[in-house]
Amino acid sequence: MIVVTGASTGTGASTAHELARRGFHVLAGVRRDHDADAIRSTGIEPINLDITKPEQVKALTARIADDPRALHALVSNAGIQVNAPVEALPMTQWRWVFEVNLFGHIAITQALLPALLRGKGRVINISSIGGKAAMPTYGAYAGAKFALEAVSDSLRREVTPLGVQVVVVEPGGVRTEMATRGIATANQPATQMTPEQDERYGSPIQAINTLMASGTASGVTADTAARVITKAATTRKPRTRYTIGQDAAPIIGLARILPDRTLDRLIATNLRRSRTRSTRRGRSSSRP
């Protein structure tokens, strides 16, 4: 038996289907009834699960306790993406991003760890290349992912001697609804910026949106991402980390070896190019 959080759409849904195809009974965490109806199939049991709601996490724990099957893995995939400059993102949204992308993962891990210990299972935390390299306007999202990486390292060193393996998966560009929503969400705080903030950050926000759209369009499919996650969940001796997508490993590698200032200049150059492409497209679309 495997739990997959954030299984309503995209990578989570594809992972649930791939694991079910491999013969696992999957408890697929969804937040809405119509998502449950959409994903329900052979081997997939939808579970009403918002990882920020203790009563729903508790109900999942009880469901697992009543099942004679061992809990093989927890795939923590639930998450949200909010992008805005550090100065301009309201503190309520900072706290919400961390609540969903970090504290919710910790809460469900704490709740299910006794079952994972009994079954010698594993924890698969879905991070991001943003957990290794933080782009402008990614402060909240990358901050939570950096923290998730650290928590995963600590957890791995605590529970590996007890028979539970901990794996981090770091996707790059993946063509999912979350990425599309992230672009739209990035513009919401921008509409509330002061004129001074808009002057400071308006152009970088547009450049980042262009890069996000490009990275998503050229990214791997959710099914491809699901196969990597399934490998992390099922292979006998998993690596501690897996990347997804052609862009993930190079970006993480550069972040590891390049001096900060060099990486800053590289990112700034990329943004200038993106800004130029965006401006050219805008001029082209405005021609009669």
Tokens of 17: 């289907």
pLDDT of 94 reads 95
pLDDT of 43 reads 97
- Give 10-residue mean pLDDT values along the chain (288 residues): 96 97 98 94 97 98 96 96 90 96 98 97 95 91 97 98 97 72 65 89 85 74 95 96 84 86 88 68 44
Tokens of 280: 């050219």
pLDDT of 22 reads 97
Superfamily of domain covering 2-280:
NAD(P)-binding Rossmann-like Domain (3.40.50.720)
| C-alpha–C-alpha distance, residues 14 and 9, integer Å | 8
pTM of the model: 0.89
Contacts 24+ apart (CB under 8 A), 275-279: 275/203, 275/204, 275/206, 275/207, 275/210, 277/210, 278/206, 278/207, 278/209, 278/210
pLDDT of 288 reads 39
Catalytic residue among 138, 141, 201, 242: 141
The yes-or-no answer on residue 141 being catalytic is yes
Residue 6 gets the label, from left (phi > 0), alpha (psi -120 to 50) or beta, of: left
CB of 90 closer than 8 Å to CB of 200? no
CB of 7 closer than 8 Å to CB of 43? no
CB of 278 closer than 8 Å to CB of 207? yes
CB atoms within 10 A of CB 89: 21
